[in-house]
Structure 1
């Protein structure tokens, strides 16, 4: 169903307006589907993003700045997110030996286990969300989204 019917718009929209509203609506649709997977784990999308960033460090610690740079949601309060993950035992924070002013964050074994459990669930969810698109369409979609962000 097209976005105008989905949101029950009675006015004809300019293609630019329609496109932006469609992307915003679709983004929320995808976020809701991802949250449904994460909710039973008492995990937000932003916390999940931090865990995935730290797993990508392959055992090397990251500082708050590195995590913030790689976050999908740039407005996230990284310190607060890390604090919540520490309370859950999924990450740990330590002071850098060489530079006592530098705080290092690393994912714990428990954090890695949660991600290992979530990986097949999120992949299945992603496939479900994108089931109406062919591989070629997905490549095109990614290229279009990448192009959109570079302008």
Structure 2
């Protein structure tokens, strides 16, 4: 992926700018591939992320704060994401009996079943996106990504 070719410029882009543009272009490619994989299920990447977090709770409820904390993409509209999943029957929401101000969210059996199907589509999309990278190259990339902490 040559940044200069993609953005159709003949002048060389400075290294720092080119690097950041590369990040943005790669992010767009990945987001598009993953969103396309989820499209048949009518679920966004963020909704998929919520379902995965809830599955990881192993039947224990999660609060909105827990979901927000564990989301890959931090956002303020977690309530809206949960509402959409609730309408699809993928999650259930109840008021906590011991603290009525706290809302407990769990994944439903239907949510678990559809998530298994989504996992297959997402795995295929991951394979497609990463097909040109060896395991060693992915390890190197992850080492470099860790430098952003």
What are the residue-to-residue correspondences of 1:67-106 with 2, within 5 Å?
67-106=67-106
Paired residues of 2:38 and 2:121 also in contact (CA < 8 A): no
| 1:42 has 2:42 as partner | yes
Paired residues of 2:37 and 2:122 also in contact (CA < 8 A): yes
RMSD of equivalent CA atoms? 1.0
Q: 5+ unaligned residues in a row in structure 1: which ranges?
A: none
Q: Deviations over 1:49-68 (max 9, x none)?
A: 11111111111100000100
**Aligned residue number for residue 32 of structure 1:** 32
What are the residue-to-residue correspondences of 1:1-150 with 2, within 5 Å?
1-148=1-148, 150=149
Aligned residues: 149
For 2:2 and 2:138, locate their aligned partners in 1 and report how far apart those are by CA, in whole Å.
19
Q: Deviations over 1:85-129 (max 9, x none)?
A: 000000000011111111010000011001111112111110111
Q: 5+ unaligned residues in a row in structure 2: which ranges?
A: none
Provide TM-score, normalisation by structure 1. 0.94
Paired residues of 1:46 and 1:76 also in contact (CA < 8 A): no
Higher relative contact order (CA 8 A, sep 6+): 2
Shift of 1:7: 2.1
For 2:11 and 2:69, locate their aligned partners in 1 and report how far apart those are by CA, in whole Å.
40
